[in-house]
Amino acid sequence: MTDSEILNHPEVRKLVHEGARDGFVSYSQINDLLIDLELDEDAVEFLLEVLEKRAIAVRDEAPLEAPVVKTPQAPKPAKPKPAKAVQAPAAQPKSESNEDLDALLAQLDEFMPTDVADVAQLAGETGEGLDDEFTPVEDALKLYLDRMGQIPRLSTEEERELARVARDGSPEESHDAQNRLVESNLRLVVHLAHHAAPRTTLSITDLLQEGNLGLLDAVSRYRPESTKTFGSYATWWIRRALNRSIAEHSRSMKLSGDLYEAIQKMQGAQRQLTQTLGRTPSRQEIAEFSGLTVAQIEEAQRASAKPLSLDAPSGSNDEGTEFGETLVDESTEAVENSAIRQEVGIGLTNLLEELSDREKLIVQMRFGLGQHAESGSRASEDVAKILGISRERVHELELRALRKLRKKAKGSGLDKLFGDDEDDD
């Protein structure tokens, strides 16, 4: 969608109108809109800029309950909040205790000891300082959170300055500035991952890693000239990464990022077209509406299809019959089928020798036999072009050859391969 199409879309206009009336919009409203419109990342940036220019804040609908880790050395914000907050409450946590750490650890299940290495890697550790024999992942996570809590928080002005250095500085200065922005906002990732945890079976370490990827996206995209604080801006990208990871984890197979985006676009276009047309849209209509190709729509439909459980009812009249019980193990017939194919192949080869050279060639090309097996069966038009004759002539020679083969094959069991014998003289 172009910028003008985004601005003129009824749902976007409704969101902007409500935001102008209330002074803010919620993250859930934006997320719902993105799902419906299937906007790409550039379009998301444009939408956020539109809201920012209209002084419409993006924030949570209600403050989150759990506080976020904050180091005792961290300075307190000196500026009071305006009447209408323009940033998400999670962007600048104010807790000066470690109560959030206790709340987070209290919700953790027991993990396998191998998870410690993952958390230690998040903390930049190699396992030093952890118990040698057995250390629950809670200890490693606490180590990570404690180290994170020792990183000083940044003021809004410091974040803007680091963002300018990250964009305009030398490669070394840019790298250092980006690292500081990431490290000083790791609390935000923990805070949002903590509240996303009840919605998924993903471990907290997986959520932290995904959230950190979203934070990296925010660092690379943030504009220091923006009136939006970095914490408020980063909150959306972190939540986006978490929501995407949770949705992906619910699938039985891993999808590429491009395929995931295609599925989202396809489903959004299908919903809107169904409402507009009052019927199920065709693949061509979905493709034109979403900007995808028909081939991409077909691939997205295959990938988004829900797998059928082996325990599901088979649909037969027999009570208690499950789908898995109706499946046949084809491997048990592999030897027998291979022998049959070999025998049939030998029989066909012998029969083809009864044909003229042209008839034999046409049959081989039409049905992918002999030297034409690799290329597969060809249409009559293709055979006609290759041989330099008309399609009608190809059809005539093919029928004549099949009649000959059918007569020769009688009594051998191969006659049924060549159709009915109604045309025989």
Q: What percent of the chain has pLDDT over 90?
A: 5
pLDDT for 212 = 92
In order of 305, 383, 386, the CA distances from 378 in angstroms are: 32, 7, 10
Determine which of 59-63, 93-97, 190-194, 360-364 has the lowest per-residue pLDDT on average: 93-97
Q: Classify the C-alpha dihedral 117-119-121-125 as positive or negative.
A: negative
For the domain 342-418, what is the CATH code? 1.10.10.10
pLDDT for 165 = 92
Task: Identify which of 230, 263, 236 has the alpha carbon closest to the alpha carbon of residue 247.
Answer: 263
Kindly give, in sequence order, each residue whose CB lies less than 8 Å from that of residue 55, ignoring residues fewer than 6 positions away.
Answer: 23, 86
State yes or no: pLDDT of 20 exceeds 50. Answer: yes
Q: Classify the C-alpha dihedral 220-223-228-230 as positive or negative.
A: positive
pLDDT for 104 = 53
- Reported as a single tens digit per residue, the pLDDT across 108-124 is 443 333 344 444 455 44
pLDDT for 144 = 76
pLDDT band at 66 (very low <50, low <70, confident <90, very high): very low
Range with top average pLDDT, 26-30, 56-60, 232-236, 313-317:
232-236
Kindly give, in sequence order, each residue whose CB lies less than 8 Å from that of residue 211, ignoring residues fewer than 6 positions away.
Answer: 189, 190, 192, 193, 238, 241, 242
- Reported as a single tens digit per residue, the pLDDT across 195-232 is 888 777 777 888 888 999 999 988 988 888 877 788 88
State yes or no: pLDDT of 88 exceeds 80. Answer: no
Task: Identify which of 246, 302, 292 has the alpha carbon closest to the alpha carbon of residue 268.
Answer: 292
Burial class for 231, CB neighbours closer than 10 Å (0-12, 13-18, 19+):
buried
For the domain 100-249, what is the CATH code? 1.20.120.1810
Can you tell me the mean pLDDT for 397-421? Answer: 70
Q: Provide the CB-side half-sphere exposure for 136 (13 A, CA).
A: 8
- Separation of alpha carbons 421 and 399, rounded Å: 11
pTM for the model stands at 0.42
Question: How many residues comprise the chain?
Answer: 425
H or E stretch including 25? strand 24-26
pLDDT for 286 = 92
For the chain, domain boundaries: 3-59, 100-249, 342-418
